[in-house]
Structure 1
Amino acid sequence: MARPRDPRRRTELLDAIVAYLAEHGIAQLSLRPLAKALGHSTYVLTHHFAGKDELISAVLAHLDRRQKARLAALPAPETGLGDVVRASWAWHVGEDLPMVRLLHEIEGLSAAGRLTGPYVPKMLGDRAEYVAEVLRAHGVPEQDALRKATLLNAAYAGLQIDYLTTGDEERVRAALDELADTADTWTRRS
């Protein structure tokens, strides 16, 4: 009989996997070299993840939980959407930049058809719904929230890619400020 999976151990393992992937990328991911780099046998990985697809799905879910926890710690609804956008940006381009790179690599591989499976579209749909919930909490009307969340996510991700590609912090930051100002207009009361 197989040993039950320990959720705490799985979380620790996911933290180590994410750190490894942030450094090495995911395009050439293979379980054997990953296990070796983590100081484990391949069995340890397959005990917690049935295979590469489940591992990638678990990594995305882990990153998503981390992102949501961080967003929950950002400014309260009274401060305005622009403050949330700016605070999130400061975190992403500061301490979380390796994870941002990893997420965009995963999304790019999925868009190119080189990474299949339902996890990336699900992650993007879940992200849009989560941001729509944040927008609703900031007073964006129900009928507009998901559409505006999709726009905000796409613009924000585009700015991240621009920054990662060009390194032009000043120009991208000015564009981010304009995006944040636009988000603020969605909740201004007349």
Structure 2
Amino acid sequence: MPRPAGPERRREATDAVIEQLARTGIGSFPLRTPAEGLGRSAGRAAARGAARHHRPADRAVPVSEVVRSAWHRDLSPGELDMTRLIRETEGLAAAGRLTLPHPGLVRGRAESVAPRLVHRGLSGAAALTCATLLNTAFSSLQADLLITGGHERGEAASDALCAWVDAQVTAAA
């Protein structure tokens, strides 16, 4: 007898599809439904994300420390497949090969970072601009490192990005 379809089962199935795609890549696989599921799942990744939310809100923790932590976590062996999947999904969307109903995957990151920058003294508009630049540079640096394997250069650029974002926060204070 088949298992009943319910919200929990749908989340499990979506998580399983995403994990499999993270291992195998997506190439020409149609990803509309799984891509919509990215960031909407209540699975393991969402639980980890929720547990990390308190730290970026702490003013005593420099923004650069949060960025460095995310950089190293995303490029760690346990997260690397998911990081590759996210970069691949973004690339397909940018190339027009993956149509999303809304640009939530990318815009949502900037919109989630901006309030943390407002909390540290930036105006709303300046925070959204800074968050957009930060997230775009962060993603591009990760893509560059994944494509070229230039770890030393990527780390140096990541350090420069961290210095830049801390300077933005300091200037606003």
Quote the residue 1:18 is aligned against: 18
SS of structure 1 residue aligned to 2:135: helix
Is the 1:159–1:176 Cα contact (8 Å) retained in structure 2?
Answer: yes
TM-score normalised by structure 1 residue count: 0.76
The one of 146, 170, 174 equivalent to 2:128 is: 146
Q: TM-score, normalised by structure 2?
A: 0.83
State the Cα deviation string for residues 85-128 of structure 1 (Å, max 9, x = none): 10111110102111111011111111111111324x22211111
* Contact 2:68 2:162 survives alignment (8 Å): yes
Contact 1:81–1:138 under 8 Å retained in 2: no
In angstroms, what is the RMSD of aligned CA positions? Answer: 2.5
How far apart are the structure 2 equivalents of 1:128 and 1:65? 17
Q: Distance in 2 between matches of 1:67 and 1:140?
A: 27
Could you say what secondary structure the match of 2:40 adopts?
helix
Give aligned-pair identity as a percent: 37
Structure 1 residues 143, 109: closer, same or farther in 2, change over 3 A?
Answer: closer
Amino acid at match of 2:116: V
> Please, which of 44, 53, 64 is the counterpart of residue 32 of structure 2?
53
Q: Which protein is bigger by CA-based radius of gyration?
A: 1
Superposed CA deviations along residues 6-51 of structure 1, whole A, max 9, x for unmatched, are 3332232222111101012223326xxxxxxxxxxxxxxxxxxxxx
1:169 to 140, 151, 164: 151
Amino acid at match of 1:21: L
User: The residue matched to 2:35 in structure 1 has which SS?
Assistant: helix
Q: Is the 8 A contact 2:118 2:127 kept in 1?
A: yes
> Cα–Cα, structure 1 residues 138 and 4, in superposed 2: closer, same or farther, change >3 Å?
farther
Deviations 1:115-143 (A, max 9, x none): 11324x22211111111122122332223
Q: Which moved more, 1:171-180 or 1:18-27?
A: 18-27
Q: CA deviation at 1:60?
A: 4.7
Contact 1:86/1:180 (8 A) holds in 2:
yes
- CA distance in 2: counterparts of 1:59 and 1:152, whole angstroms: 21
Going from structure 1 to structure 2, the CA distance change for 1:74 and 1:10 (only over 3 Å counts) comes to farther
- Counting matched residue pairs gives 166
Structure 2 counterpart SS, 1:186: helix
Which shows bigger deviation, 149-158 or 55-64? 55-64
Measured against aligned partners, the alpha-carbon deviations of 1:143-180 in whole angstroms (never above 9, x if no partner) come to 30100011001110111011101111111101101111
Question: How far off is 1:73 after superposition?
Answer: 5.3
1:69 to 50, 55, 59: 50
Deviations 1:57-88 (A, max 9, x none): 11353398467436415453311111011011
Q: 2: CA distance between counterparts of 1:66 and 1:21?
A: 20
Q: Show structure 2 runs of 5+ residues with no match.
A: none
